[in-house]
Amino acid sequence: MRDVAIIGVGQTPVGEHWESSLRMLAANAIHAALADAGVESADALYVGNAYGTSFSSQSHLGALVADYAGLAGIEALALDAADASGGAALRAGYLAVASGAVETAIVVGVEKSTDTVGSDHVRARNVSLDADFEAIHGATLTAMAALLMRRYMVEHGVELNAFEGFSVNAHGNGSKNPNAMFRNVMKAGSFARSPMIAEPVGLFDSAPDADGAAAVVLTSAERASDLVPQPVRITGSAVATDRFALQERPDMLFLAAANRSAYAAYAQAGISPSDADLFELHDGFTILAALTLEACGFAERGQGCRLALDGQIGLQGALPISTFGGLKSRGNPAGATGVYQAVEAVLQLRGLAGANQVAGARTALIQSLGGLGSTAVTHVLQA
């Protein structure tokens, strides 16, 4: 298996792009990544997208995006793993280059969420739940996150305000990211006063749906060194799944797929959790941030929130997370989110993260979750 490296990154701002369609967002990110890599084209394109069919009545995004981006002819396929679709596309690109079948691959994640609003938006979003046993009963991802969060609070004796640290960190970091959707620093007391979306999930526990696209260019590590001054190696790549529905899991408060994919990626990279200089995790809900830190070896069970309260997740902390604002503040363009994580980690490892820089970052983890951890995709990136 060949070693694989990222040689270029590109992103659009995250937010409400009324002027741009799905394909336009994707093409903009692709062109930015190709320019960053200093290459004209690539041999293959892997598109991560979760809701193109339900938001925009558009599937078949491999060929569609390749054509619109001026790349018609090349291999192009689309990957879906709900909100982990960006991570899934990165995995596909990694495997294609690692195999030797593909020399240079573009991975783009794209989502156009804001053309569909209200109950139509909820229905469109709900296609990634279990249609026959969850969505049909009116469940939503947020409603199920609320059940999970409540259970966590009861089991571990944790109060609502314990989760505040995740939001404060995300918004503090996002405020310095020009591509972030919400650039407001949280005011003291905002978290406690925030309206409930699905109790106990409040406004600041839940990440906003958004439009956006992010792209990376991959090639073999050997070739990468000749092409760019600062290639970033992908030293670990793994996907795992869990029982699809929360109620089927033997231990609802343990994210088994996050755990399994993280430790597989650590093993491949030859690292342990303490080697990570930063972690772009899937903070779609604050409860997922807490559970992820526990599943991936950074906190004991029930102690995930303590890392945030103790200031360890900040840019100067022991394990900076959501360094550009995470899903919460940068925004969550679902199928693009996993690729945004890769772009942000690359900027950190190149030392080009500006006001969001983690000093001396050499090893970054990124993890993308689909559903409430039904799918987890973990990559280890190293300078």
Decide: is 368 part of the binding site for its own copies (CB under 8 A): no
- Does residue number 180 form part of the binding site for its own copies (CB under 8 A)? no
As measured in angstroms, the least distance from the Cβ of 281 to its own copies is 19
Closest-CA residue to 6 (of 262, 270, 220, 322): 220
Tell me the window of 66-74, 145-153, 275-283, 314-322 that interacts with its own copies (CB under 8 A): 66-74
103 binds its own copies (CB under 8 A): no
Taking CB under 8 A as the criterion, which residues in 1-40 touch its own copies? 1, 21
Question: Under DSSP, is residue 23 helix (H, G, I), strand (E, B) or coil?
Answer: helix
Hey, is 302 helix, strand or coil?
Answer: coil
As a whole number of angstroms, the distance between CA 32 and CA 15 comes to 18
Q: What is the smallest separation between the CB atom of 80 and its own copies, expressed in angstroms?
A: 4
Q: Which of 183, 223, 233, 243 is close enough to bind its own copies by CB under 8 A? A: 243
Nearest approach, Cβ of residue 325 and its own copies (Å): 25
244-263 residues in contact with its own copies (CB under 8 A) are 244-245, 248, 256-257, 260
Q: Whose Cβ is closer to its own copies: residue 53's or residue 190's? A: 53
Query: Should residue 57 be labelled a site residue for its own copies when binding is judged by CB under 8 A?
Result: yes
Beta strand 232-241 pairing with 4-11: antiparallel
- Comparing CA positions, the residue from 350, 375, 370 lying closest to residue 361 is 350
Q: Rule CB under 8 A: choose which of 35, 120, 123, 270 binds its own copies.
A: 123
CB atoms within 10 A of CB 202: 23
- 179 vs 374 by CB, closer to its own copies: 374
Chain positions 129 to 148 lying near its own copies, rule: CB under 8 A, are 129-132, 135
Site size toward its own copies, by CB under 8 A: 67
Question: CB atoms < 10 A from the CB of 323, how many?
Answer: 31
Contact present, 315 and 356 (Cβ < 8 Å): yes
Task: Please state whether 13 falls in left (phi above 0), alpha (psi between -120 and 50) or beta.
Answer: beta
The smaller minimum CB distance to its own copies, of residues 107 and 168, is found at 107
Residue from 28, 104, 128, 368 touching its own copies (CB under 8 A): that is 128
State the burial class of residue 327 (Cβ atoms within 10 Å of its Cβ: 0-12, 13-18, 19+). buried
Q: Does residue 242 bind its own copies (CB under 8 A)?
A: yes
Residue 103 beta carbon to its own copies: minimum distance, rounded to whole angstroms: 12
Q: Collect contacts of 202-206 with beta carbons under 8 A, ≥24 apart.
A: 202/160, 204/164, 204/167, 204/286, 204/328, 205/145, 205/149, 205/163, 205/167, 205/285, 205/286, 205/287, 206/142, 206/145, 206/284, 206/285, 206/328
| Among the residue ranges 65-73, 184-192, 288-296, 354-362, the one whose residues contact its own copies (CB under 8 A) | 65-73
The Cα–Cα gap between 280 and 32 comes to 21
- Interface with its own copies includes 61 (CB under 8 A)? yes
Nearest to 257 by CA among 81, 47, 1: 81
The reply to whether 80 sits near its own copies by the rule CB under 8 A is yes
Q: How far is the CB of 381 from its own copies (least distance, A)?
A: 17
Preceding omega of 195 cis (within 30 degrees of 0): no
Out of 35, 38, 99, 311, the residue judged to bind its own copies by CB under 8 A: 99
Tokens of 7: 């040689």
Identify the sign of the CA torsion 77, 7, 208, 162: positive
Of 154-162, 235-243, 321-329, 341-349: span binding its own copies (CB under 8 A): 235-243
Residues within the interface to its own copies (CB under 8 A): 1, 21, 44, 50-51, 53-54, 56-64, 66-68, 71-82, 88, 91-92, 95-96, 98-102, 123, 126-132, 135, 237-245, 248, 256-257, 260, 370-371, 374-375
